[in-house]
A = this chain, B = another copy of it.
Amino acid sequence: MLNMILKEKVEQAIKLLNEKKIDTWLTYVRESSINHDPMLDLIGGPNCTWETAFIINKDGDNTVIAGSLELENYQSLGIYKNYFGYLKSIKELLVENLAAKNPSNIAINFSKNSVLADGLTHGMYLILNSYLEGTGLEDKLVSAEEIISALRGRKSQTELSIMKETIAETLRIFDEVTEFIAPGKSEIEIANFIKSKVNERGFGLAWDEDHCPAVFTGPDTQGAHSGPTDRKVERGHLINIDFGIIYKGYCSDIQRTWYVLRANEDKAPEPVQKGFEVIRDAIKMVADALKPGVQGCEMDDIARNYITSLGYEEYPHGLGHQVGRAVHDGGGGLFPRWEKYGNAPYLLVEENQVYTIEPRLTVKGYGTSTLEEEVVVTKNGCEFLSKPQKELMLIKG
């Protein structure tokens, strides 16, 4: 399966080089288990120890240059056309192969805007420049950001079908945890229950295990991106969980919200119910508007303005991000116009990108209401990949 995706992605890259008017794209890595260029997984294959170059040209010709002891690891995959091994220095083979097509530009993996297009370290950039010095090629280097964003963002049918399975497995675990949650259980116990299911089924966690899953019960919790504590579920708590798995190399990222009924309640109190519905409706409003050609920041506006117009504080993060092999994937995102997001809020949404939609709000005295759904952008709109949570789930106290 991995092999099929590598093949699809290298072919897609050749088309993208033509679309984006890039002659040659170089992915240049070393000791990739330490400094791991995320593009290696998508167009390269296994990790390397010594300097390794993946060269893709817009005419369809492509080449791997690797340490001689590691060349076979790539050659056996059969994705590229040409393979060269070296013993003492990659320099000569690298310069020769880059010069071969006399490219007017060479894209390399650096980017201020996109982490996923920024796998080239500064030291490797300096080494590359020292190799190219005097060849004229050192003046042709440009960012591969646009190629990488499109390549990661525009999912193939193989990728989408894996991602649907990944989400289905995630929702199955959410169903199981709904049975497990009860007053007296701690955030850590709930997180461990989820992790045991993940291990049992041989999945990976989509992000760091110290806050995947993130479990929050009740008011005054830390909020997003922190780990579960020994705080216990109580009657009258809003509970929310942020969780995703890695399955067949692809991530999921879903959030769900529950309310724990108090002795005298058969439904959630009005502010809790309303807090849930506002989030649910904000997601629907965004999904109705999301389609190719819109900007991510316009989508963030829809949810942020709706939530604040009702008197809630704005959520302290972006509305949503792309998902793929990385849980935060692709170039553009459904982000506000904040400096830390670089140009990502302004990029146009494209067909076959997968986004999360994950607004949040605080219901004072009860906890956090937050949902996170995943959608795929279609030709004229978008479709939910996760069955959206339509009703607040109630836990009997």
A residues in contact (CB < 8 Å) with B: 30-31, 33-38, 46-47, 49-51, 67-70, 72-73, 87-91, 110-127, 130, 207-208, 210-211, 222-227, 316-317, 326-328, 338-340
Q: Can you show 13 pairs from A to B with CB atoms below 8 A apart?
A: A31-B328, A35-B36, A35-B119, A36-B36, A69-B225, A70-B226, A72-B222, A73-B211, A73-B225, A73-B226, A113-B123, A121-B121, A125-B125
Q: Is the beta-carbon distance between B35 and A115 smaller than 8 angstroms?
A: yes
Give the docked Cα–Cα distance between A89 and B47 (Å). 34
In contact, B90 and A340 (Cβ under 8 angstroms): yes
A120 to B208, CA, bound (A): 20
What is the bound-complex CA distance between A227 and B69, given in angstroms?
11
| Residues on the B chain within 8 Å of A73, using CB | 210-211, 225-227
Closest chain B residue to A125 by CB distance? Answer: B122
Tell me the bound Cα distance from A215 to B338 in angstroms: 51
Closest to A91 in B: B339
Q: Which 7 A-B pairs have the closest CB atoms?
A: A89-B339, A118-B123, A110-B122, A31-B115, A88-B338, A122-B125, A118-B121
How many copies, total? 2
B-chain residues with CB within 8 Å of residue A339 when the two chains form the complex: 88-89, 91
CB proximity of A79 to chain B, nearest CB, Å: 16
- A50-B122 Cα distance, complex, nearest whole Å: 19
Contact present for A119 and B121 (CB under 8 Å)? yes
B125 touches A69 (CB 8 A): no
A226 CB contacts on chain B under 8 angstroms: 69-70, 72-73
A129 to chain B, nearest CB (A): 10
A89 contacts B340, CB within 8 Å? yes
**14 extra interface residue pairs, beta carbon distance < 8 Å, beyond A122-B124, A125-B125:** A33-B327, A34-B38, A51-B340, A72-B222, A88-B338, A89-B338, A89-B339, A91-B339, A110-B121, A112-B123, A114-B123, A118-B123, A119-B121, A120-B122
